[in-house]
Amino acid sequence: METAEIRRRFLNHFEREGHTVVPSASLVSPDPTLLFTVAGMVPFIPYLTGRETPPYKRAASVQKCVRTLDIDEVGKTTRHGTFFQMNGNFSFGDYFKEGAIAYAWDLITKPQSDGGYGFDPDKIWVTVYQQDDEAAALWNRVADIPYERIQRRGKKDNYWHTGQPGPGGPCSEIYVDRGPEYGRDGGPIVDEDRFLEIWNLVFMQEAVTEVKAKDDFRVVGDLPNKNIDTGMGLERVAFLLQGVENMYEIDQMMPVIERAAELSGKKYGRHAKGDPGYDDDVRMRVIADHVRSALMLIGDGVAPSNEARGYVVRRLLRRSVRAMRLLGVDEPVADVTLAQVL
């Protein structure tokens, strides 16, 4: 299924359930405490904290996001991208845990012929926050997931906040088992390559401050409403539904890998780690990711520079150029100059 179709099905599903479809906001975060839009919820922070009254109780979006924390993992794992699109549904004081779980389950397991993604229900695992008996019971009752496939984790994995003072809450993550050829048995707590996280449902109900780490923060109190913030990784769902091996090989990114292969005369080959050719594969995946992120940032008005957002663009471009050089390409390869793009 094409990435564009996965996106369309997501928005149609939630629109049918009374959500207002909201266009993606800029990558330059509308929230002054964040450099970039790091999640689908960022444009909605004022509604989640209660600072502003939302014009709708339910919203859905496909938000472009940039996160550079894991930049060194890009190209080496199946799933780390500096740019990605997050499909999200949001409830501002309307439905809560049960609704979020039911809507998500319906979309991922509904047959493809019926507008869903058609994942095999027996291959779905979920995690819930350590003390969240309610979420565990709902997964069992609403989705009929046996308790053996409902795992519990602490704050580091199953509590979500932006990393800044603001809204937060326990979360529940949905994973797809890719099969024994991809790793060890035992669910996401054992192997996150075999069990790939596709969707995070956050039960946004608290205000947090003094955020020092994922699991080191202080809860100030309850938010005025119990809200829902979810984020589904569009590229991750695409790589599963397109039967490819990682997010860089999906329809929206593979053409860049193919062009890098063509320009360098190297063959992209899914070589295993340690094989000759593996490093070149990583370089082509890095290029596919970084070129996309840099272009999307430039499209949102960020120019390369020596500080803050501009420095991130510069770093992405430099890393792309370096990867091309390591592939043996020393000459400029684009027909346009940056000045023409800007």
Measured from the CB atom, is 102 or 263 closer to ligand SER? Answer: 102
CB of 164 to ligand SER, least distance (A): 13
Tokens 């501009």, located at residue:
310
Measured from the CB atom, is 171 or 257 closer to ligand SER? Answer: 171
Measured from the CB atom, is 39 or 317 closer to ligand SER? Answer: 39
CB of 6 to ligand SER, least distance (A): 16
CB of 242 to ligand SER, least distance (A): 22
Per DSSP bridges, beta strands 124-129 and 83-92 are unpaired
Binding residues vs ligand SER (CB under 6 A): 39-41, 88, 160, 200, 202, 229-231
Measured from the CB atom, is 24 or 311 closer to ligand SER? Answer: 24
Measured from the CB atom, is 41 or 312 closer to ligand SER? Answer: 41
In the structure encoding, which two tokens stand for residue 183, read together? Answer: 């790793």
- Residue number of the CB closest to ligand SER reads 231
In the structure encoding, which two tokens stand for residue 231, read together? Answer: 């984020």
Contact 128, 135 (CB under 8 A): yes
CB of 206 to ligand SER, least distance (A): 14
CA 24 – CA 43 distance, rounded (Å): 9
Query: Could you report how far apart the first and last alpha carbons of the chain are, in Å?
Result: 34
Measured from the CB atom, is 168 or 304 closer to ligand SER? Answer: 168
CB of 88 to ligand SER, least distance (A): 5
Name the burial class of residue 221, with classes exposed (0-12), middle (13-18) and buried (19+) by CB atoms within 10 angstroms of its CB: exposed
CB of 41 to ligand SER, least distance (A): 5
CA 53 – CA 130 distance, rounded (Å): 32
Candidates 204, 211, 233; CA nearest to 48 is: 204
Per DSSP bridges, beta strands 124-129 and 150-153 are parallel
Measured from the CB atom, is 84 or 268 closer to ligand SER? Answer: 84
CA angle 2, 334, 239 (to 5 degrees): 20
Per DSSP bridges, beta strands 124-129 and 216-233 are unpaired
CA 153 to chain centre: 20
In the structure encoding, which two tokens stand for residue 26, read together? Answer: 């800029």
CB of 86 to ligand SER, least distance (A): 6
